[in-house]
Amino acid sequence: MRRYVAGRLLLMIPTLVGVAILTFVIMRAVPGDIVALKYAGSPVPQSVIDEERHQLGLDKPMWAQFTDWMGEIAHFDLGTSLWTGHPVVDEILVRLPLSLELAIIATLLAITIAVPLGVLAAVRQDTWTDYAIRLFSIGGLAMPSFWIGLLMVLATITLFGWAPPLVFTAITDDPIANLSQMVLPALSVGYRYSAVSMRMTRSTVLEVLREDYVRTARAKGVRESVVVLRHALRNALLPVVTVISLEFAFLIGGLVVTEQVFNLNGIGKLLVDAVAHRDYTLIQALVLLLASVFVLINFVVDMVYVVLDPRIRYS
Could you list the residues that contact another protein (CB under 8 A)? 11, 14-15, 18-19, 22-23, 26-27, 29-32, 131, 134-135, 138-139, 141-144, 146-147, 150-151, 153-154, 157-158, 196, 199-200, 203, 207, 239, 243, 253-254, 256-257, 260-261, 268, 271-272, 275-276, 283, 287, 290-291, 294-295
Given the complex with another protein, which of 47 and 315 has the nearer CB atom?
A: 315
Cα atoms found within 13 Å of the Cα of residue 266, Cβ hemisphere only? 24
Report the chain's terminal Cα–Cα distance, integer Å: 5
Choose between 150 and 187: whose C-beta lies nearer to another protein: 150
Minimal CA–CA distance to 243: which of 97, 135, 102, 110?
Answer: 110
Q: How far is the CB of 120 from another protein (least distance, A)?
A: 17
Instruction: Say what the alpha-carbon torsion angle 221, 225, 227, 230 is, to the nearest 10 degrees.
Output: -130
Shortest gap between Cβ of 175 and another protein (angstroms)?
A: 28
Q: How far is the CB of 287 from another protein (least distance, A)?
A: 6
CA distance 297 to 291: 10
Residue 236 to residue 255: CA distance in whole angstroms = 29
* Least distance to another protein, CB of residue 176, Å: 26
Bridge partners, 216 (sequence order):
none
Q: How far is the CB of 156 from another protein (least distance, A)?
A: 11
Contact by Cβ (8 Å): 32, 276? no
Of 11 and 64, CB closest to another protein: 11
* Distance in angstroms (rounded) separating the CA atoms of residues 240 and 205: 10
Q: How far is CA 236 from CA 154, 229, 308, in A?
A: 39, 10, 11
Shortest Cβ distance from residue 38 to another protein (Å)? 16
Nearer to another protein, 233 or 261 (CB): 261
DSSP 8-state class, residue 1: -
Nearer to another protein, 143 or 308 (CB): 143
Closest by Cα among 279, 302, 293 to 30: 279
- Cβ-based nearer residue to another protein, 178 or 277: 277
Nearer to another protein, 171 or 238 (CB): 238
114 to 53, 129, 214: CA distances (angstroms): 52, 15, 22
Q: Of 190, 184, 178, 191, whose CA–CA distance to 156 is shortest?
A: 184
Measured from the CB atom, is 94 or 151 closer to another protein?
151
Q: How far is the CB of 12 from another protein (least distance, A)?
A: 9
How far is it, in rounded angstroms, from Cα 192 to Cα 106?
10
Instruction: Compute, in degrees rounded to 10, the torsion defined by CA atoms 189, 195, 196, 197.
Output: 100
Smallest distance, another protein to C-beta of residue 51, A = 25
